[in-house]
Amino acid sequence: MAAKPHPTSTHWGAYRVEVEDDRVVGVRPDPRDPAPSPLMANTPGAQHHRTRVARPAVRRRWLEHGPGADPRRGDPDDEYVEVEWSTALDLLANELDRVRTRHGNAAIFGGSYGWGSAGRIHHAQSQLHRFLNTIGGYTRSRTTYSHGAVEVLFPRIIGVPAANRLLHRAPSWERIREHTELLVSFGGLRVSNTWIASGGRAAQTAGPAMRAASDAGVEFVSVSPLRDDTSADLKCTWMSLKPGTDTAVLLALMHVLFDEGLADTAFLDRYTVGADRLRAYVMGERDEHGEPGGVERSPEWAERLSGVPADDLRALARRMTEKRTLVNVGWSVQRAKYGEQPLWAGLALACCLGQVGSPGGGFASGYGSMGNYGGGATPVGLPRMPQGTNAVDSLIPVAKISDMLLHPGEPYDYDGERRHFPDIRLVYWAGGNPFHHHQDLNRLTRAFGRPETVVVHETHWTATARHADIVIPATTVLERDDMAASQGDLALRAMPRVVPPHGQARDEYDTYTDLAERMGVREEFTEGRTSWEWMRLAYGRWRSLLARRDLEVPDFDGFWERGRIEIPGRIEDAALMGEFREDPEDSPLRTPSGRIELYSETIASFGYEDCPGHPVWLPGPAVTDQGEDGAERPLVLVANQPRERFHSQQDMGKYSAAQKVHGRAPLRMHPEDAEAAGVSEGDVVRVTGPSGSCLAGVVVDDAPRPGVVQLSTGVWYDPSGSDVTCVHGNPNALARDEGTSSLGQGCTGQLIRVRVEPYEGDPPPVRIFHPPLGVTTQT
């Protein structure tokens, strides 16, 4: 008998799962989805995998010696002791109380960055923040790994509301189809990236919409080191460049406009400040400090750095002035050293073209990075679990995690401030995997050795869980009732529980309720409600907000019964900064000048060498780093988002597993580079970067340009080898842990200078897909 499919929603889309005898046995696309994502195929293999956390567990050394710094945290041979729920909760409540009493709540780090669980109610991070707020607060983190540099830079140069719209509310693909003639995208337009949105999307529409735009005659140019960053069915010209050189290319495009009198000076005069300063820099009249003398940023100059022929740059610049042109700079481009620069330069180029604020033209950042970019906005937000307020005023930029743990009290620069790292005694993580997402995992391991206690809530025994002293098993989305939608989504979906919890896993809401009880704040945390009652309440509040705008949705029972309701009143902007373009006096930007700041007095006043007052060319380590240790690293590794999974989630699933080579992450290499390194298709190789090494399996492919190799993120970090940092192929074992600049301090994991060589002998086995010592499996 065919299993009955149940609807569910994840960050990677809405689909159905087939269940037999309380087990997930298969998946099916939602029939209403025009282009379902293949990532759903990872779900059955992950749901009941032997690495599920089935019982609360405590690290033996912590249990026996009590809290304290311990450099052995994360040791693959460390042992865990499984304990009763009541024991785990007693230990945890006592420890939280000890730390907050002795060191204050700021000593608890609860930033807990990560993309765990798509539901509106059981969203892991929101739950943790609510709980920590009820016990007195915590040190938080701000901005994201996705676009940390943009989040700091753009409020300074276009002001806050415009910056938020730029990142979250760009015009839709339909508007692009109608108005855009030429879309030039730095960082490509990967359809596989659009499978993701925070909260998931009712349907995967971005891929088909891009194709429709192409069919309707929109011309695409993909500026990127990988040919297949755009799908083959788009009419697209690939402009292949060396990674990390976009700013040089963008400055050269401006050079052509200034040099040939093609720059829109009327636009620059009316809507921007600092264009003269930038122009003098581009033309080689002034340097980045405004002093006389400098380098002419000509197409020939850019060709030497980027590998893009000067004639192609000239032709593109001219073409851009003849067409309604949209310049898109993807998020990847800023996830590298000096990541602020290509974004600022991209905006400056769009200003020189004079098209900012016009339908289908101007500047954007995020097409091809996220599925709901250009998806519009929901009129009153989405139903949500209130998080309360944090009584502690202590924070770090999110990618400063290792620096914070290793250097308590030390100063660092950030967005014009000199700040000091807090002294963290307890790290509490729920719904994220820093041993997937952070750079230099050796260093992160040292950092995790510093606090007195590490607590992790997880569904699976990830590398992060294996750095914890107390591990709390959490249910997955399939094991609890919830609802999902993303910003700008078409429909809100019910996600009724389809299988019972694995082992003794519990909903985190219930875990926090029991902890709150032990700490005397149960009433404050629950306000007398179960999670089901919170869901009804959140929905009801959302419904009344909609009603105030005369927008109607059914009551909660009606919604739950239907399983899916359309979200009414979606807002869509025709252009970014459209009002400003129409009337810059009446609708100024919220910047000091009221205009777009091509030169920012404020940023210049910070005096940062790594982010001066206007966009400048600064060569990052991807361009210059041959290895100061003397070791040669001739290749640039692109650590982009995996097509075959979502970050590290469900890496053991079959779609992810099918891409591996001898169970290792696939490393794509151009045939010339494979030959030069003396390796062939299917070989297990050692990849060495500035902070460590990993094993990977070679895939020979001419999609990467010569000199560039691709190793996507997210294969589970496995430090069990003796002569290599990660035996499985996680690129963060190789990456430098360094901020974009003193301004943004964003993460810089995208580009890593590496060497590839054959691995001699039998490669060590991958052990991370077995639970740690002392943990009994339950499948």
Ligand X SMILES: Nc1nc2c(c(=O)[nH]1)N[C@H]1C(S)=C(S)[C@@H](COP(=O)(O)OP(=O)(O)OC[C@H]3O[C@@H](n4cnc5c(=O)[nH]c(N)nc54)[C@H](O)[C@@H]3O)O[C@H]1N2
Which C-beta is closer to ligand X: that of 423 or that of 507? 507
Block residue for tokens 């929101």? 126
Which C-beta is closer to ligand X: that of 508 or that of 683? 508
The DSSP annotation for 379-400 comes to: BTB-------------EEEGGG
- Say if CB 704 and CB 744 are below 8 A apart: no
Which C-beta is closer to Mo ion: that of 240 or that of 640? 640
Report in angstroms how near the CB of residue 147 gets to Mo ion at its nearest.
8
State which of positions 111-150 bind Mo ion (CB under 5 A): 146
**Residue 640 near Mo ion by CB under 5 A:** no
Which C-beta is closer to ligand X: that of 324 or that of 647? 647
Residue with the shortest CB distance to Mo ion: 146
Residue with the shortest CB distance to ligand X: 749
Binding partner of 742, given Mo ion, ligand X, none, CB within 5-8 angstroms per partner class: none
Question: DSSP assignment, residue 477?
Answer: G
Which C-beta is closer to Mo ion: that of 399 or that of 754? 399
77: buried, middle or exposed (CB in 10 Å: 19+, 13-18, 0-12)?
A: exposed
**Residue 332 near Mo ion by CB under 5 A:** no
Give the span between the Cα atoms of 754 and 756, in whole angstroms: 7
Report in angstroms how near the CB of residue 146 gets to Mo ion at its nearest.
3
- Say if CB 733 and CB 714 are below 8 A apart: no
Annotated catalytic residue: which of 80, 113, 238, 338?
113
Binding partner of 117, given Mo ion, ligand X, none, CB within 5-8 angstroms per partner class: ligand X
Give the span between the Cα atoms of 55 and 80, in whole angstroms: 11
Report in angstroms how near the CB of residue 750 gets to ligand X at its nearest.
5
Which C-beta is closer to Mo ion: that of 24 or that of 149? 149
State which of positions 501-540 bind Mo ion (CB under 5 A): none
- Count of other CB atoms within 10 angstroms of residue 680: 14
Which C-beta is closer to Mo ion: that of 127 or that of 332? 332
Binding partner of 370, given Mo ion, ligand X, none, CB within 5-8 angstroms per partner class: ligand X
Binding partner of 436, given ligand X, Mo ion, none, CB within 5-8 angstroms per partner class: ligand X
Binding partner of 223, given ligand X, Mo ion, none, CB within 5-8 angstroms per partner class: ligand X
Report in angstroms how near the CB of residue 746 gets to Mo ion at its nearest.
11
The DSSP annotation for 250-319 comes to: HHHHHHHHHHTT-S-HHHHHHHEE-HHHHHHHHTTSB-TTS-B------HHHHHHHH---HHHHHHHHHH
State which of positions 254-293 bind Mo ion (CB under 5 A): none
Binding partner of 731, given Mo ion, ligand X, none, CB within 5-8 angstroms per partner class: ligand X
Q: Which residues bind ligand X (CB under 6 A)?
A: 114-117, 124, 145-146, 186-188, 190, 192-193, 195-196, 223-226, 229, 241, 243-244, 246, 330-333, 335-336, 368-370, 430-433, 436-437, 439, 457-460, 462, 474, 508, 638-643, 646-649, 713, 731-732, 735, 749-751
- The site that binds Mo ion (CB under 5 A) totals a number of residues, namely 1
Binding partner of 184, given Mo ion, ligand X, none, CB within 5-8 angstroms per partner class: none
Binding partner of 331, given ligand X, Mo ion, none, CB within 5-8 angstroms per partner class: ligand X
Which C-beta is closer to ligand X: that of 286 or that of 645? 645
Binding partner of 195, given ligand X, Mo ion, none, CB within 5-8 angstroms per partner class: ligand X
Q: What is the dihedral of CA 650, 652, 653, 655, to 10 degrees?
A: 100
Block residue for tokens 């810089």? 748
Binding partner of 633, given ligand X, Mo ion, none, CB within 5-8 angstroms per partner class: none
Report in angstroms how near the CB of residue 601 gets to ligand X at its nearest.
29
Annotated catalytic residue: which of 12, 15, 62, 115?
115
Distance separating the N- and C-terminal Cα atoms of the chain: 23
Which C-beta is closer to ligand X: that of 202 or that of 223? 223
- Say if CB 194 and CB 368 are below 8 A apart: yes
* Vertex 752 angle, CA 750 and 755, to 5°: 145
Ramachandran area for residue 283 (φ above 0: left; ψ -120 to 50: alpha; else beta): alpha
Report in angstroms how near the CB of residue 145 gets to Mo ion at its nearest.
5
Which C-beta is closer to ligand X: that of 40 or that of 213? 40
Give the span between the Cα atoms of 716 and 721, in whole angstroms: 14
Report in angstroms how near the CB of residue 335 gets to Mo ion at its nearest.
9
Report in angstroms how near the CB of residue 290 gets to Mo ion at its nearest.
36
Residue 62 phi, psi (nearest 5): -70, -40
Q: Distances in Å between the alpha carbon of 135 and those of 99, 106, 113, 509, 703?
A: 12, 12, 20, 15, 52
Binding partner of 246, given ligand X, Mo ion, none, CB within 5-8 angstroms per partner class: ligand X
Structure tokens at 61: 């050394």
Closest CA to 478 of 162, 2, 7, 137: 7
Report in angstroms how near the CB of residue 163 gets to ligand X at its nearest.
17
Report in angstroms how near the CB of residue 119 gets to ligand X at its nearest.
8
Active-site residue, 412 included: no
Taking only Cα atoms into account, the Rg of the chain, rounded to an integer number of angstroms, comes to 26
Give the span between the Cα atoms of 575 and 360, in whole angstroms: 7
Closest CA to 321 of 253, 273, 266: 253
Which C-beta is closer to Mo ion: that of 105 or that of 750? 750
Ramachandran area for residue 472 (φ above 0: left; ψ -120 to 50: alpha; else beta): beta
Active-site residue, 138 included: no
Report in angstroms how near the CB of residue 621 gets to Mo ion at its nearest.
21
- Say if CB 415 and CB 743 are below 8 A apart: yes
Closest CA to 46 of 59, 27, 31: 27
Sequence letter at residue 490: L
Residues near Mo ion (CB under 5 A): 146
Which positions are annotated as active-site residues? 113, 115
